[in-house]
């Protein structure tokens, strides 16, 4: 498991607007946090909503998907069930840029 990898993940039952259930997530944290068993991930969706916090990912999964950067969360590695692919460096930088904007004061 490395930064930029996409895994199928069981996020459990959602509360209000949280993403939940089984869906792809992309690991965005440094590889070291994965080795601690608590990677930071961004859930993905197939629904195009036009949100500025969503990054379109095309050509990695069977359908065009959107990384939901506003849903950033830390999870246990035991939630990750199957490797689905790996983002390019360009796609990862696009996600990082949105996360930086979200976390800026």
Host domain of residue 58: 5-103
Does this model's pTM top 0.85? Answer: yes
**pLDDT per residue rounded down to tens, the chain (105 residues):** 999 999 999 998 888 887 888 999 999 999 888 889 999 999 999 999 999 999 999 999 999 999 999 999 999 999 999 999 999 999 999 999 999 999 998
The closest alpha carbon to 25, from 90, 64, 81, 63, belongs to 81
pLDDT of 38: 93
Report how many domains make up the chain.
1
Looking at residue 16, what is its pLDDT?
A: 81
CATH number at 39 reads 2.30.30.110
What is residue 74's predicted lDDT score, i.e. its pLDDT? Answer: 95
Cα separation values, 58 from 11, 61, 87, 92, Å = 23, 7, 10, 12
């Amino acid at each position: 498991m490395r930064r930029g990898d996409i895994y199928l993940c069981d996020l459990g039952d959602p509360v209000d607007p949280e993403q939940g259930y089984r869906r792809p997530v992309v690991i965005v944290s440094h590889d070291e946090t994965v080795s601690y068993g608590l990677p930071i991930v961004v859930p993905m969706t197939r629904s195009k909503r036009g949100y500025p916090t969503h990054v379109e990912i095309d050509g990695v999964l069977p359908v065009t998907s959107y990384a939901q950067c506003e849903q950033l969360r830390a999870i246990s590695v035991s939630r990750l069930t199957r490797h689905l692919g790996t983002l390019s460096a360009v796609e990862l930088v696009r996600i990082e840029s949105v996360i930086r904007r979200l976390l800026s004061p």
